[in-house]
Amino acid sequence: MATDTRTTKLIINDLTKEQYESIVNPSDTELYLVPDDTDDRLALKQDVLTPGTGITIVDNVISSTGAGGTTNYADLSNKPQIGGVELSGNKTLSALGIAPSTALGGMTLWKGTTAQYNAITTKSANTLYIITE
């Protein structure tokens, strides 16, 4: 069954935020009007946007320069790792703790030019040589 929530008297209270927060038992028959702090926040805004270090404003376009960062991988911190080994420099699979693939039946792959192949004095029976020109 619906409850009749009509009142015979409604009191409208225009309060400050502090007054509203001090109310211990709000009344069901009173409406509390409390201004938000928008006016206070607007009073703190800058009338003119002033750029800081490394920031420029030209024709209402805001740009930043020199805020940090790098395009040099060696300068990065927190580089990724494989098995606790940092990925920097020219690491071999062995250096990264990665076992060679057994897809070739235990054979090793070698790739090089004909001149490089001819320079190998002792060829291995366990190596598959791929010669490129």
Q: What is the pLDDT of residues 51-106, one digit of tens each?
A: 777 778 888 788 877 656 778 888 888 889 988 899 988 888 888 888 766 667 77
Q: What length is written for the chain? A: 133
With 0.85 as the threshold, say if the pTM is over it.
Answer: no
Dihedral sign for Cα atoms in the order 97, 99, 101, 104: positive
**How far apart are alpha carbons 43 and 36 in whole angstroms?**
13
- 114 confidence band (pLDDT: 50, 70, 90): very high
What phi, psi does 73 have (nearest 5°)?
-55, -35
